[in-house]
Structure 1
Amino acid sequence: MLESLTNNKEFAQLMQKHTQEVIIHFFKEEQNFGILCKIEDVEFSPALPQDIISEFRPLTLFFLAGYTFETAHIKDDYLTFEAGFGAENFGSIVSVPLYSIMQIIVDETPVMINLSNQKIEQKPKKVVDKKGVEDSMATFLSNPENSRFVKK
């Protein structure tokens, strides 16, 4: 019975929505918190060096406080924040899909637990095709009538 619930897509969507609402509430209240999440789903930009990545466990705790908390926001079903890692404080932007957050923790106490086992398809991140933009601009500028729209 429990397995059919935790593997249910609608339940997963409900848990993701609840996770988002709890985090937004903490942002409004300026409440620092930790997230326990599945590291396999987390994205780092720039990518972390292998010696740092190898130290992470399958479930990893990130604590959002100070600068990390100030940079945190939710966009497109991802919790994103800036953090420093390792002895060198290697800076990276961390993107955690909301479905991957298993617990939200305040003062060492879990205040939200996500029991869902479902991965929810994320909206694809928009990728700008620079070549396409350049080609479009070249086509636009090839028409002498359009030169009046270009700032000099």
Structure 2
Amino acid sequence: MLINILNDEKFVDLMQRHVEELMLYLFEHDQSFGILCKIEHLSFEPELPEHITESFRPMTLFYLAGYTFDSARIDGNRLIFEAGFGPENIGSFVTVPLPSIMQIIIDETPIFINHAVYKEGEEETEAADDGGIENSMAAFLSNPENEKFLKKK
């Protein structure tokens, strides 16, 4: 099922490698780009004042251009770049785990979309804990009309 694939650690690793290779390609070709990422997984050094962080949405777009692009680098499984925030242009190093990057955007067009489910620590999914996936599959299989959707071995 789709949810099993999206939660699979190997699929998350595949998406991470893909996003890394794509960003390296963009860096090599000096192409500015935006990243849409889950703010909950990011870290800022130094930490930003609350009046700035409270304006971030759960999915936030960062555009890497100019100095921000020049400061960007991939370190292990993280993208790190320096950016200025707020009217005061407060500088901070932003650390983004690669699997938390949901889109890469050039000229307002997504060129990469990540559907993998990234969780820090890779804990088990709730659906697996309560048997939801098994119950859903049992309901699906109980209808004989759904046999046509099953992969033949």
TM-score interval (norm. to shorter): 0.7 to 0.9
Unpaired segments ≥5 residues, structure 2 = 123-153
Larger radius of gyration: 1
User: Number of paired residues?
Assistant: 122
Identity of aligned residues (%): 54
SS at match of 1:40: helix
After TM superposition, the structure 1 = structure 2 runs for residues 56-71 of structure 1, keeping only pairs within 5 Å, are 56-71=56-71
SS at match of 2:82: strand
Q: CA deviation at 1:121?
A: 5.0
Q: CA deviation at 1:120?
A: 6.0
Q: Does 1:55 align with 2:65?
A: no
Q: Is the 8 A contact 1:8 1:118 kept in 2?
A: no
SS at match of 2:111: strand
Q: Report the aligned-residue RMSD.
A: 1.2
Alignment match, 2:2: 2
The separation in 2 between residues aligned to 1:28 and 1:120, in whole angstroms, is: 29
SS at match of 1:17: helix
Q: Is the 8 A contact 2:83 2:91 kept in 1?
A: yes
Alignment match, 2:78: 78
Letter matched to residue 3 of structure 2 = E
The separation in 2 between residues aligned to 1:46 and 1:69, in whole angstroms, is: 19
The separation in 1 between residues aligned to 2:92 and 2:118, in whole angstroms, is: 27
The separation in 1 between residues aligned to 2:118 and 2:55, in whole angstroms, is: 26
Alignment match, 1:111: 111
The separation in 1 between residues aligned to 2:95 and 2:11, in whole angstroms, is: 23
SS at match of 2:36: strand
TM-score norm. by structure 2 comes to 0.77
Q: Is the 8 A contact 2:79 2:95 kept in 1?
A: yes
After TM superposition, the structure 1 = structure 2 runs for residues 3-152 of structure 1, keeping only pairs within 5 Å, are 3-119=3-119, 121=121
Q: Spell out, residue by residue over 1:4-54, the C-alpha distance to the aligned partner (whole angstroms, 9 max, x if none).
A: 110111000000000000000000000000000000000000000000000
Letter matched to residue 19 of structure 1 = V
